[in-house]
Structure 1
Amino acid sequence: MSSFKISRTGEDIKRELTDIMRSLKDPRITGLISIVKMDLSGDMSHCKVYISSMDGLEAAKRAVQGLTSASGFIKHELNSRMKLRKVPDFKFIADNSIEHSADISKMLNDLK
């Protein structure tokens, strides 16, 4: 498949995943949780989703646990919204890039 189609489909999946994550009622998924990056495989069967939280790495790890346990529901919802031939298997990975960028922003503001 062309890389353009994979990247376009990846962006569509990212947009839908963000909406699905907002509707989940798992208590582990709280605060400002966002998708930092997604790696969709060439055959669109596997997808690594990097999750970050404003509350830090521990909150991101809890959110990853909640998202992993809800992965069946997420796949079902994604399939009903996008009508993909094959819905990818998701692997959620905790990332601390939002916390890191907030720390850098705070340091820069302190310099002023």
Structure 2
Amino acid sequence: MKSINLQRTESLLMELVPEALSTLKDSRINTLAITEIDCKNGKYDATVYYDGSDYTKQEKQVLNSLLSKASGHIKTYCLNATGWYKCPNFKFKADDTLEKSMKMEALFDQIKSKKQD
């Protein structure tokens, strides 16, 4: 179970990271949908998950590279908006939970159709 402070930090970052991305000029990442932020070690590390369902593996690698280059700007934006003295180190990953859930739904449908036969 996460502490209240850690959940509050994640919630605040869920608002600030998309705002920071929207200020960038690169159209590939300024409209990217952030699905979840997972903080670890207090506020020292944060994994930012973005919706990667529309991208190929190569595009995800390019996005990860662009996002890691933009992490300095995102940190600065978060520090200015919150007044924190320390901002987490951001790691970016494509969120594939939607794809996994769709595969599971397809499997359940197959099982259901086999039971009906």
TM range (shorter): 0.7 to 0.9
Is 1:44–1:88's contact at 8 Å kept on the other side of the alignment? yes
* Aligned-pair CA distance for 1:65: 1.6
Q: Normalising by structure 1, report the TM-score.
A: 0.73
* Aligned-pair CA distance for 1:53: 3.5
The Cα offsets for residues 30-66 of structure 1, whole Å up to 9 and x where unpaired, read as: 6x52122211013211111112245224444332221
CA-based RMSD of the aligned residues comes to 2.6
Residue 45 of structure 2: aligned partner: 46
| Structure with higher RCO (Cα < 8 A, 6+ apart) | 1
Q: Which stretches of structure 1, 4 residues or more, deviate above 6 A after TM superposition?
A: none
The Cα offsets for residues 75-102 of structure 1, whole Å up to 9 and x where unpaired, read as: 111100111131111111123345x38x
Identical positions, percent: 26
Measure the CA separation in 2 of the matches of 1:83 and 1:41.
20
What is the aligned length? 102
Larger Rg computed on CA atoms: 2
Q: Normalising by structure 2, report the TM-score.
A: 0.70
